[in-house]
């Protein structure tokens, strides 16, 4: 007997299988597309005048769509942004901060890069979250900070780069170059900064790098970075390079500090010795100069006195040759005057009988005290009484 699936087949009525149940729906049913289109058409007809599509309704819809499309061209540029307007993907102009307008999509589009913001990039160090301190801590990145110096030493350099997009006063197309010439600006700046620092450090010795050459190294890195970025046409301006930490590697830093301390002691001792030499040598030179000058003065004095005595002797001799007796008498008198001028003299005139002479007379005590003997020029003979 043929089987007919009427009313659910021989096992009952309804959409059931041979075990008494039919297929059960799983999950929500998808919406009916025809039903959605029919509902949208009904709502649109309700909005149109007359409840059906007419030429006036179509024009009204097109005008509304055109107004909405034109209104979509308004955009706002924030204070730290610069609007870059593209027409069919080609750069057209820049838009200053404020409310601006461009032709709606797809004719024109606008890009809003942070052109007035100064970005900070750290190389050789990174910030990580520290749950113990409830904040962020600095972690060293050796693969970025370890560099080889010109004298074949290794130095650990952490530095920071401050950069921004070139303003229009520096480069009128700086923003456009920044957007279209490089794909990853931050990665490009980081790679160029690390390469420039390695180049400058590789030309320098470790001692100037650790002591007083930081300023020159920072300037050299900034100039090298700017030249490289300009060759890329990146539109990036490097404002400053700051070296945060410059140390030897952590494995040898203790030994290096011992060497530095020994060098400091050596310089200190050299400075002390130089200070002592600067004090002693001038004093010795001054004393030597003083002795030489005193000897020179004594020499000139002795020579002058000898010349004077010889000249005086020659003059006396000339006079002596003219009148020997008179000159001899004068010399004798001058010599006696010089010899007896400072001694005490007593003159006694009396007869040979000695009448009236006191046997003891302390003439030395009775004589008035005289001042120290006069010089030869002061002792003059009086009426020849000293003869």
Query: What does 224-249 look like in DSSP terms, one character per residue?
Result: HHHHHHHHHT--EEEEEEEEEEEE--
| Residue carrying the six token digits 């990036």 | 236
Instruction: State the pLDDT at residue 297.
Output: 92
Taking alpha carbons only, the member of 241, 246, 249 closest to residue 219 is: 241
Please count the CA atoms within 13 angstroms of the CA of 36 that sit on its side-chain side: 4
pLDDT at 347 over 60: no
Q: Which residue has the higher pLDDT, 133 or 15?
A: 133
Q: Locate 228 and state its tokens.
A: 């490289």
pLDDT category of residue 11 using cuts at 50, 70 and 90: very low
**Segment of 245-254, 280-289, 328-337 carrying the highest mean pLDDT:** 280-289
**179 vs 236: CA distance, rounded Å:** 10
284-323: pLDDT as tens digits: 999 999 999 999 999 999 999 999 999 988 888 888 888 8
Mean residue pLDDT of the chain comes to 76
Distance, C-alpha 244 to centroid of its chain: 12
E-strand spans in 35-124?
A: 74-77, 83-87, 90-95, 98-101, 108-111, 119-123
**pLDDT per residue as tens digits for the range 22-67:** 444 444 555 566 776 677 666 666 655 555 555 666 677 777 777 8
Between CA 276 and CA 264 the distance in angstroms is: 18
Predicted confidence band at 95 (pLDDT cuts at 50, 70, 90)? confident
How many angstroms separate the most distant Cα atoms in the chain? 221
Q: What is the pLDDT of residue 86?
A: 80
The whole model's pTM is what?
A: 0.50
Question: Taking 90 as the threshold, does the pLDDT of residue 3 lie above it?
Answer: no
- Report the pLDDT value the prediction gives residue 25, as an integer from 0 to 100: 47
Q: What is the C-alpha separation between 309 and 307, in angstroms, rounded?
A: 6
- Looking at residue 289, its pLDDT comes to 92
Percentage of the chain surpassing pLDDT 70? Answer: 72
In 55-184, alpha helices (H): 55-71, 142-145, 174-180
* pLDDT for the residue numbered 303: 93
> 222: which residues sit within 8 A by CB, 6+ positions away?
238, 240, 241
Q: For 43, what's the count of Cα atoms within 13 Å in the CB-facing half-sphere? A: 6
Question: Taking the CA atoms of the chain, what radius of gyration do you get in angstroms?
Answer: 60
Residues whose CB falls within 8 Å of the CB of residue 100, separated by 6 or more in sequence, listed in order: 74, 75, 76, 77, 83, 110
Q: Name which of 114-118, 131-135, 379-383 the model is least confident about.
A: 379-383
Whether 317 and 327 have beta carbons less than 8 Å apart is answered as no
Is 33 or 201 the better-scoring residue by pLDDT? 201
Q: 41 vs 34, 38, 207, CA distance in Å?
A: 11, 5, 83
- Contact (CB, 8 A) for 159 and 196: no
What are the residues facing 130 on neighbouring strands? 135
């Amino acid at each position: 007997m043929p089987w007919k699936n009427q009313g659910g087949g021989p096992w009952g009525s309804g959409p059931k299988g041979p075990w008494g149940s039919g297929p059960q729906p799983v999950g929500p049913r998808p919406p009916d597309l025809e039903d959605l289109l029919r509902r949208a058409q009904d709502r649109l007809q309700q909005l149109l005048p007359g409840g059906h599509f007419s030429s006036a309704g179509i024009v009204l819809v097109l005008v509304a769509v055109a107004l909405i499309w034109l209104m979509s061209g308004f955009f706002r540029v924030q204070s730290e942004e610069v609007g870059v307007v593209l027409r069919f993907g080609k750069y057209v102009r820049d838009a200053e901060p404020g409310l601006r307008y461009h032709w709606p999509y797809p004719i024109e589009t606008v890009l809003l890069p942070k052109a007035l913001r100064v970005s900070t990039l750290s190389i050789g160090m990174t910030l990580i979250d520290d749950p113990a301190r409830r904040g962020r801590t600095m972690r060293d990145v050796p693969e970025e900070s370890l560099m080889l110096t010109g004298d074949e030493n290794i130095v650990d350099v952490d530095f920071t780069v401050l950069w921004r997009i070139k303003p229009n006063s520096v480069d009128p197309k700086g923003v456009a170059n920044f957007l279209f010439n490089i794909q990853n600006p931050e990665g490009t700046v980081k790679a160029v900064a690390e390469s420039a620092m390695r180049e400058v450090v590789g030309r320098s010795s470790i001692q100037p790098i650790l002591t007083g050459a930081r300023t020159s190294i920072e300037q050299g890195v900034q100039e090298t970075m700017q030249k490289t970025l300009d060759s890329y046409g990146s539109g990036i301006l490097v404002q400053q390079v700051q070296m945060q930490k410059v140390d030897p590697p952590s494995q040898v830093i203790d030994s290096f500090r011992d060497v530095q301390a020994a060098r400091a002691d050596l310089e200190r001792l050299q400075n002390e010795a130089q200070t002592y030499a600067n004090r002693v040598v001038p004093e010795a030179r001054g004393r030597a100069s003083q002795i030489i000058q005193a000897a020179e003065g004594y020499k000139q004095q002795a020579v002058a006195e000898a010349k004077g005595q010889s000249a005086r002797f020659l003059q006396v001799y000339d006079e002596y040759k003219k009148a020997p007796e008179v000159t001899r008498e004068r010399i004798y008198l001058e010599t006696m005057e010089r010899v007896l001028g400072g001694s005490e003299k007593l003159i006694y005139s009396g007869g040979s009988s000695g009448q009236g002479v006191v046997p003891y007379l302390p003439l030395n005590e009775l004589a008035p005290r005289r001042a120290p003997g006069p010089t030869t020029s002061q002792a003059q003979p009086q009426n020849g009484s000293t003869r």
